[in-house]
Amino acid sequence: MFGNKNKKEKLDIITNSIVLFFAILSLFPLYWLLTSSFKNSADVVKMPPDWFPKTFTMSNYVDVFNNQPALLWAYNSIVVALVATIALIIVSSLAAYAFSKLKFKGKNIIFIIFISSLMIPKEVMIVPLFRIIQNFDMVNTLSGMIWPNVATAFGVFLLKGFFDSIPDSLREAAKIDGASEFKIFYKIYLPLVKPGIGALFILNFVQVWNDYLWQLIVGQDATSKTLMVGIATLMQDLNPNFAYKMAGATVAAVPMLLIFIFFQKYFTKGITIGADK
CB-nearer residue toward other proteins: 20 or 222: 20
| Residue (of 39, 178, 162) closest to 101 by Cα position | 162
CB-nearer residue toward other proteins: 106 or 191: 106
Residue 104 CB, shortest distance to other proteins, in Å, is: 3
Residue 223 CB, shortest distance to other proteins, in Å, is: 20
Residue 215 CB, shortest distance to other proteins, in Å, is: 10
CA-CA-CA-CA torsion for 158, 160, 163, 164, nearest 10 degrees? -120
Q: How far apart are CA 54 and CA 44, in angstroms?
A: 11
CB-nearer residue toward other proteins: 22 or 194: 22
3-state secondary structure of 133: helix
Name residues whose C-beta falls within 8 Å of residue 147's C-beta, 6 or more positions apart in sequence. Answer: 84, 87, 138
Helix 70-101 and helix 59-67, axial crossing angle in degrees, nearest 10: 80
Residue 194 CB, shortest distance to other proteins, in Å, is: 19
Query: Sign of dihedral through CA atoms 147, 153, 154, 156?
Result: positive
Residue 263 CB, shortest distance to other proteins, in Å, is: 11
CB-nearer residue toward other proteins: 75 or 212: 212
CB-nearer residue toward other proteins: 173 or 271: 271
